[in-house]
Homo-oligomer: A and B are copies of this chain.
Amino acid sequence: MVARMPDSTSPRKGRPGRPRSAEADRAILDATRAALVDVGWGKLTMGEVAARAGVAKTTLYRRWANKNELVVDAVAVLFDELELPDRGCLKADIEGVVLQFGALLARPETKTALMAVVAESTTDDALRERIRSAIVDRQKRLVVLGRERAQQRGELPPDSPGTEGALAAGQAIGLIFDVIAGAIIHRTLVSSEPVDPAWAQNFATLLLTGLVGLG
């Protein structure tokens, strides 16, 4: 395998020759998302993306080695829309981010692409790293921020490195992230039911008070 462009985001400034077309980049990623909505992952072809983007097929292969990496980049930017506005208390913060994430996953291009590349990543280490750095790790910031806010409000105990039975902060963040993201993904994609305000409220209650609090 010849060394290929690792990613399309590096500007490669100061280099001689004709520069990459930023418009082509954008057109390709837009076309990828649009095609995902129409035909889904399985029938998505590089040729069709190129045609939609008004670009030669070879131009795609100069930037991405295969369909997987292209789709990861096409979808990753959508996740940066997520925010965590301060709604006053931990429960409201949780409900807010759950609804945002739910709305993002409700979009057809997101749901069909995310699970597909995750599936491919189980037999492709490079792809798994790309997903982790481009999507997952970037969104853990929401958990970190929400946790810090709750600790400042006194809703959660502060980090206690020496306490018996306490969890290291990093482990706790990873656990919480898996629970929140996993539950939303599972409800949306597997159970195929909506993440609406009522569900978000029930989920936040469960997360805060545990199973007993569900009533």
Residue numbers of A with Cβ under 8 A of B are: 39-42, 68, 90, 108, 111-116, 118-124, 128, 131-132, 136, 150, 155-157, 160, 163, 165-167, 171-172, 174-179, 181-187, 189-193, 199, 202-203, 206-215
Contacts and interface: CB of A to CB of B under 8 A. Distances in A.
5 contacts: A40-B123, A115-B122, A118-B190, A119-B189, A208-B211
Contacts of A210: 206-210, 213
Contacts of A108: 122-123
B215 A203 contact: no
A171 B119 contact: no
Nearest to A125: B192
B157 A215 contact: yes
A41 B215 contact: no
A122 B208 contact: no
A170 B93 CA distance: 26
Contacts of A90: 211
B206 A41 contact: no
Contacts of A41: 119-120, 122-123
Nearest to A37: B123
Nearest to A186: B182
A179 B178 contact: no
B179 A183 contact: yes
B181 A179 contact: no
Given A179-B179, A181-B186, A120 B40 contact: yes
A167 B203 CA distance: 11
Contacts of A172: 214
Contact of A183 (B42, B178, B209): B178
Contacts of A113: 119
Given A174-B193, A193-B174, A156 B122 contact: no
